[in-house]
Structure formats: C-alpha cells, structure tokens
Structure 1
Amino acid sequence: MSESTTQTAEGFTAKLIEKTIDKLAVGISESEDLSIYRVPNKLREVKADAYNPRVVSIGPFHRGHQDLAPMEKYKSLYVLRFFQYTKTPQETRICLEDCTKALYDLDKQVRRCYSEEIKHIDNTLTEVMLLDGCFILELFLRYDQHCLNMKLKGKVDPIFNNAWMIPALRQDLALLENQIPFIVLKKLYQIIRPSVVNHYTPPNSVTSLALKFFQPMNNKALAGDTEDCNHLLDLLHKFCFLPTKLAPLNQILSTSHIVPIRISGILGFNHAASELLWYGVEFEKGSMEGNLLDIAFQRGVIKIPPVFIDNTTDSLFRNLIAFEQCHLNSSHHITSYVIFLKSLIRSKEDIKLLQRRGIIDQNWGGEDQFLSNFGTILDQVHPKDFHFDHLCEVVNCYRKSWFHWQTHKVFWTVRLKYLYQTYFSTAWSMISFIAAFCLFVLTITQTYFAIHPAH
C-alpha cells in the first residue's frame, strides 16, 4: 500500500470518527429533550378513548382532526383576549412580535421534544405553539380570575358558560399526546405577565396557574413551585401525585424499598383490603400534606394518603403510566401506586371499606365502572420497578403471624363489629336476637328436664 493511500485511509477514518461522534452528541442532546410521545399501540388497544382528546387539540399530533374542529374558533377567540391585556394597539403589536420571535427561536428545541419528526406542519409549528400556548395561558388566567370571583373579559365566554367544558378541558390537557413543551408556556407568560398585572395580580409562575386549574382532579392542597418540568402532564406527575417539593429520589421513597421487578410471583398484596382487615390488618387515612407514595405500615396499620377519584381518574392514571412507560428517565412511581391500589381493591366491599376509612374520596357513584377500569388499567404495562414490594411483603408476612397483639386486637374487633352490625344495628334486630336467645335457652331447659324429669 502506497503512502498516499495510507494517508487517504487515515484521513477517511478520522473524518468518519469525527462525524460519528458529532452524530452521537446530537443524538444524546435530542434524547434529553424528548418528552412528548405517541402512546404505544399495545396500550392504546386496551382502551383508546383514554388517550384521545375529546374537545381540544393541543400540539401537532391531533391537529386537524375533524371532531376537534369546533374548538378551533374558541382557541382563536382566547388568543385575541390574551393580547387584550395590553393597553394600546402599539403595545399589542410589540407583545405579539415578542411572543412570535421567542417561539421561533425555540423551534429546534420544541421539535426535539416530540418522539416523531414533525413534517406535516414544518412552516407553521411556531404558529401552532403560539396559538395553543396563548389559549392554555388565557384559559388558566381566566380560571384564576373566575376562582377569585372576578368579572371575566367579554360578555360571552363559550367555555365558562358551559358547565361540562372545564372538566373536559382538564382531561384533554392531561393527555400524553396532547402536550406542548412547558418552555413555550413559560416564555409566553414571561412576556405577557407585566401586562396582566395592570388588570389583576396573577400568580408568579405558570406552575402555580396550572396547578390551580388542575387541582379539582385530585382534590389536594398544592404547595411549592418549580418550572423544572417537560409539559403539563409531567407537572401533574411531579406535583399532584409525588411530593409537592421535588425531593431527591431517596427521600421520595423513604417509606418503601425499590427492588428489581420480579419475573414471577404476585405484585402487591396477597389479599384485598376487606380480606386483610378480616385477618387483622387495619387501614387509616394518611396525611393530605404529603404525596400519594407516602404509604406506611406500622403496628398492624396501613396508612394511605387520601386519593380523589372521579370519572377522569382512569384516563389520568393511564396517561401517567403511558408517560412512565415511554420516558426513559422516569421511575415508575405511578405504575407502582396503581399496582398497589389494584391489589387492594378487587370488589365493592374493598371500595366501601377504603371510603369509610377516608382513603378514597369518590365523587362518582360508578363503583362497577371503577372496578371495570381497574381491571384493565395495567394490561400491556411492563413496570421496571415496584416501589412497594418491601411493604407488601411485610404485610403479607404479618397477616400470617399470630405473635402480634395488634393482629388479635383488629381480628376480634372486626368480628365483634360484624356481629353487632348483623344482630344489634337496629332495635328490631336486637329484639330478634334476644328473643332467639331466650327461645334457645328455653329449648335447652325443656330438653334437660325432658331427659332428667324431677322426682
């Protein structure tokens, strides 16, 4: 091989290595931004309705769907009202230019957030982000003012005049495929907030606005503030169901123990809630100030923070689980929580028990529907870790042990309560029991004297 050929080969190799390294660097950078995904087909086949928007399309994935077309004119109306916070037409123009330029500069970062290349709206993606971002922020601002009993701008509001619209929008804005990057909302709010202050004092951040809007979905007091999230569903994942302040992972899971998922065996409890109670395990309502993972077992009592359940809960949990399934950087917190709940709730008796203990706050009378939803919610789901494995194993072993005084206490308390509810819950049942007992005594006495007649 000649010297020139060797140099050419070395030069080609060096260029190839440099090119490959550059591609790897770009790939790593893009994967770090990736956070908005298509729901995997396996999950969608189980229950497609849980992942499809019903009222509004947000972002590129569902844009142009005919069923969602009626909402587009309302979105445009909200965008116009969004820019009406400015005082003069000149200020409005400047504000619109600032918003458009800020989003145009974010174009590459926005595209990297989506799991597939956005080709069909290459020339209008900035317009989509502007339209949807302004709509969401105006919706949040109007909801905040509505909660403060302030008069809303405009005589007619097609959204707030319909009682069903706000709950429907909450559900749609919490869908995995119906998201825009949080940085879009953050940038737009930074630009518009100085103008909003002229009308009323809004929250300092988009996080606070969003959490107030979504608060009825979990009926939980929310505290803390951060903008370190990918989109609105990620915000719900971090705040509504995990700690209100983003603690390190070892603090978040202080009451549980992470172990690799088992290939075989039962995940969760061996017995449902009503059966565990019968065997001597009691349930108590945990603190509302913590998070849903703050579950503990001490002295025969499982303390579980209250969870709010309505007809949107199934869709919300399924989308949170889908996000955990797709997002490589996400631990399976919600998946573990649903596994935990599903192992406890297997019948109406289990739901009623947890309701009596204040653990389930159900604003929805569909117990059969709840059980039906829970029956399939983990189908085609592959958890990579189960955060309550240790807790469940301790409870399963505790149930089998009779060396705990607390076990005997709960065991006999449950049985005495059952006897009381069966025989002494009303005056008539008590009279019936006393009559039956007297009849039993008389029968025994009569039998005794029949066998042993008096002399």
Structure 2
Amino acid sequence: MSETHLSEIRVDPLINKEEVLIQNNQPQELKMDETLGNNSSQNNERSLWLGSIMREVTEDKNNQPLSPKIPKVPHKLRNENEECYRPLVVSIGPYHYPERDTTLREVETLKVPMARQFILNGGKDIELIYSELEKVIQTAREFYNEIDITGFDDEQFAQMMFLDGCFILQFISCVTDHNYENLEMSDRLIVTVKKRLASASGYNWQLKSAQQPAHLLELLHSLIICSHKSKVKSSPRRYGRCLSYLVTCCQKIIPAKPERGHYLYSSAKNLKKVGIHFMPSQTSGLMDVKFKPSFFYGTVKLPTLTIDVLTMPLLLNLVAYEKSTALDQLPVTSYICFMDSLIDDADDVKELRSKGIIVNFLGSDQQVADLFNNMGSSLEPDNSAYNDVKREINRQYESTLKRWVAEMQQTYFHSPWAFLAFAAAAVGLALTATQVYYTIHPPPHPPPPPPPPPPPPPN
C-alpha cells in the first residue's frame, strides 16, 4: 500500500479555508502540471476578487442617492433649538405642511385670494399658467427627498407649489408698491412674512447660482408679468429690488480666499482695555470685518446688526442651510462664532451697542449676550474666516508697550477731570523732585565780592 504524505497546507484567501493537498506517489511531470494549474487557478481567483472590489466601488458610486437641493435641517441643530426652525406665520413647500391647518391657518387662508388677485393682475388664463407649471413639476419634486413628499401625488404637489408661488409673488408685488391693503394682513404679519421670505429668497438664490434649477417663481413671473408689454419695464425693477438686494447681500458674505486659521480669546471689554476700539463698518456684509492699526491703538470695524426676536431663528436657519449643503465656506456660522468670541456678558454687548454695532430691540444686554453664547456654543466655524483681523487683534493684544499705553490712557485720561488731576500731580511731583534735588545738591555759592580798594592817602 502506497504511503500518503501531506506535502503542504494552503489557505485560500477567498474562502478562508485550509486545503490539504495530498501527495501520492505520482510522476514528477504530473505534479508539475498540477502545480501550474493550481497557480493559474489561484491567479484567476485573485483577479476576480480584485475586480469585484472595483466593480462594487463603481456601482456604489453610481447608485449613491443625490442629496436634496432643498434639504431639511440637520437633526443635531433641530434638536437643540427646534422652535427656531418652525415657521411662525406661513409655510412654503412640503416641509411643515401639516401645520397649515393648525398654527399657520391664519395666513394659509389668504393664499387662495392672493393667488386669484395675482392672476387677475396679470390678465392671463389660469388654465394656461397651471399647465405650464405642470410641465416642470417633476423637476421641482427632485429638489426634495422622496421620502418627505411621498404623501403628495403630482397633482397635489403642483397645486401646493402653484398657490405658494403666487402667494410669494403677490406679496412682493404689494410690498414693493406699498399696496398693503390688498394683503389683508395685520402689520405684525406683514413684517414677519417680509423677514421670512427674505431669508428664503436668499437660499433660493444660492441654489440657483450653484445648480441652475428651473425656478417656479421665475416661471410664474415670466408667464404672468413679463408677457405684458405694459409691465415689462416696471415689473422687473419692482420685483428685482428685493431679489437683487438679497443677491448682493449673499455675495458680500463670501470670503475672498482661505488662509491658516487663527483664534480670538478676548472679549470686547478686554480688548478695549488694551487699546482696541470698535466702530461700525460702511456695509452690512457679514464678512466686512476689518482691523485698522495705529501706533498705539487699533480699531475693529464690524457691520451693524439689528437684534430682535427673529434674529436667532434667521441666523440658525442660515447655519442649517450651510451645514446641510456641505458648503466649503461657512460665512454665517463663522460670523456667529466671531461675535460669540467678542461677547461674554452684558458689558461686552454694552460696549458694542454704544459704538453702533449692535442695535438691540430684543431686550436687555444680557439677553443679547445669552443669544450669541447659546448659538455659538455648538457651532464649528470656518477657521480661515477673519484671519487677518484675528491675527492683528492678537498682535495688538500681546504687545506689552501698547498694553501699557492703553492702560495708562484709561487710568489717567478717561475724563477731563482725571487728566487735570494727573497734570496737577505730575507738576507737583516735578516741583517736589526739583526741591529734593537742590536740597541734596545745593548750587555752589557765588565767590565773595573783592574787597574795596583802599582809600587814597590824605594830601
């Protein structure tokens, strides 16, 4: 009986199993053929395995779902300040649609009469306008996650977008023409809707700039307004005043170029102590922050910001937009964090408010400080934002000579009486020092006068 030997144990990398190759008393040529065959099979298996890796990567990339162009607020932000992301008076689009019959019903009931008035003002057939909108409704659906609009068929989605679009354009038309009586709204609602639509239009402009969508507002505007020769000249100007202003604001907040990040560790009141003062800048762009140095002092120029009850929701919605769209630059987030670094308490707000940088319609200065501290506590800014300003501020703050001059100025020259007291003390000190010096080092006495000449001898 021939003896069986275990020639080798091979581990298959594909199935991770040990194969025992049994060598019998076979001719040498046959064993060589088997070895070559095994090597060839192993190479084929390896090629198939490597090819499957690349094929799966390609398939995953091709099958990866596209992110929505109008995304929802990220869960992390929504969980921290959920009330800031809920509409106060009006809902536009499918998000928050169930609230239209409850908390938002007051304005929701105005959409139909405002749409009717908008169509009548344009003088176009409503069937024609609606049929044109239906042609692009499938493209409009692609701007949202499909899971968020499963409750809408194409007809329901088109009706919702038609009413919302007509409402926005009619509202802008009445506001720009100061025709407020046609809105049938209270002054409070008009102001609130104006601010909300301003922020929404800012989002739409950035989407249009980046992705060139078929904008429903542009379609409705072109069908109803631009088709009338009598309004071709006036309407674009009327409607453009709002939108072009928003475009300009969005362009202003984009930084020019990224650089290495710097950090700011001192609040406004502490910067004032080292000779760094504040003044409002000439524009309202969030990135228009500059530092103007001088020999001993420095000035930080900041845009003026009005703070009221709508400021926090507006800023946080802009932050949510930046995060959900994965922008390379985060101008609004960086601005909030920069202001948070300047504001620790009410004294910092008082300093900025006294310089005209903050206009406080919210309440106390401490409420404004809490607003920025709450918003900035969970945000991560773009570290390259405000690099030049932060670098110059830190350089001024760390200068021993400039700190000494600033502290001296605040101690002895902060008021006319303090200056007079300092001047009197300086003069008194100088006189005292002079007296002490001459007491220790008296001036040399003048030499005695020469004796008088002797009298002439008598004759």
User: If the TM-score is normalised by the length of the shorter chain, which range does it land in?
Assistant: 0.5 to 0.7
Instruction: Describe the shift of the 1:109–1:200 C-alpha distance in structure 2 as closer, same or farther (beyond 3 A).
Output: closer
What does 1:204-243 correspond to in 2, within 5 Å? Answer: 204=236, 208-211=240-243, 222=245, 236=246, 239-240=248-249, 242-243=251-252
RMSD of aligned alpha carbons:
4.0
What does 1:25-174 correspond to in 2, within 5 Å? Answer: 30-31=66-67, 34-65=68-99, 66-87=102-123, 92-93=124-125, 96-117=126-147, 118-123=149-154, 124-146=156-178, 151=179, 157-159=183-185, 162-173=186-197
Partner of 2:291, secondary structure, is strand
Which blocks of at least 5 consecutive residues in structure 2 are unaligned? Answer: 1-43, 209-214, 426-459
1:307 aligns with 2:302: no
Q: Which amino acid aligns with 2:277?
A: E
Q: Which amino acid aligns with 1:35?
A: K
Partner of 2:252, secondary structure, is coil
TM-score by length of 2: 0.67
What does 1:296-445 correspond to in 2, within 5 Å? Answer: 296-299=290-293, 300-383=298-381, 385-404=383-402, 410-416=406-412, 418-419=414-415
In structure 2, C-alpha distance between the alignment counterparts of 1:142 and 1:294, rounded to whole Å:
32
Compare relative contact order (CA 8 Å, sep 6+) and give the higher one, 1 or 2: 1
Which blocks of at least 5 consecutive residues in structure 1 are unaligned? Answer: 1-5, 213-221, 223-235, 261-266, 438-455
Larger radius of gyration: 2
In structure 2, C-alpha distance between the alignment counterparts of 1:268 and 1:115, rounded to whole Å:
38
Per-residue Cα deviation, 1:255-310 (whole angstroms, up to 9, x for no partner): xx5336xxxxxx7421110110012212222222x622021223122122222322
Instruction: Describe the shift of the 1:156–1:116 C-alpha distance in structure 2 as closer, same or farther (beyond 3 A).
Output: same
In structure 1, C-alpha distance between the alignment counterparts of 2:187 and 2:93, rounded to whole Å:
25
Contact 1:242–1:293, Cα closer than 8 Å, also in 2: no
Partner of 1:102, secondary structure, is helix
In structure 2, C-alpha distance between the alignment counterparts of 1:424 and 1:373, rounded to whole Å:
37
Aligned residues: 362
Per-residue Cα deviation, 1:7-51 (whole angstroms, up to 9, x for no partner): xxx9xx99x979966x856858x44xx331221222122221111
Per-residue deviation, 1:327: 0.8
Contact 1:141–1:209, Cα closer than 8 Å, also in 2: no
Decide which of 228, 234, 256 is 1:253's aligned counterpart. 256
Instruction: Describe the shift of the 1:166–1:194 C-alpha distance in structure 2 as closer, same or farther (beyond 3 A).
Output: same
In structure 1, C-alpha distance between the alignment counterparts of 2:90 and 2:409, rounded to whole Å:
52
Instruction: Please name the residue that 1:443 is paired with.
Output: none
Q: Which amino acid aligns with 1:103?
A: L
Per-residue deviation, 1:109: 2.4
Per-residue deviation, 1:115: 4.0
Contact 1:295–1:302, Cα closer than 8 Å, also in 2: yes
Per-residue deviation, 1:189: 1.0
Partner of 1:194, secondary structure, is coil
Question: Where does structure 1 differ by over 6 angstroms across 4 or more consecutive aligned residues?
Answer: 16-21, 175-182
Instruction: Describe the shift of the 1:292–1:46 C-alpha distance in structure 2 as closer, same or farther (beyond 3 A).
Output: same
Instruction: Describe the shift of the 1:164–1:43 C-alpha distance in structure 2 as closer, same or farther (beyond 3 A).
Output: same
TM-score by length of 1: 0.68
In structure 2, C-alpha distance between the alignment counterparts of 1:59 and 1:329, rounded to whole Å:
23
Instruction: Please name the residue that 1:273 is paired with.
Output: 268
In structure 2, C-alpha distance between the alignment counterparts of 1:376 and 1:175, rounded to whole Å:
21
Per-residue deviation, 1:389: 4.1
In structure 1, C-alpha distance between the alignment counterparts of 2:336 and 2:274, rounded to whole Å:
23
What does 1:177-192 correspond to in 2, within 5 Å? Answer: 183-192=215-224
In structure 2, C-alpha distance between the alignment counterparts of 1:19 and 1:80, rounded to whole Å:
52
Q: Which amino acid aligns with 1:59?
A: G
Identity %: 24
Q: Which amino acid aligns with 1:259?
A: R
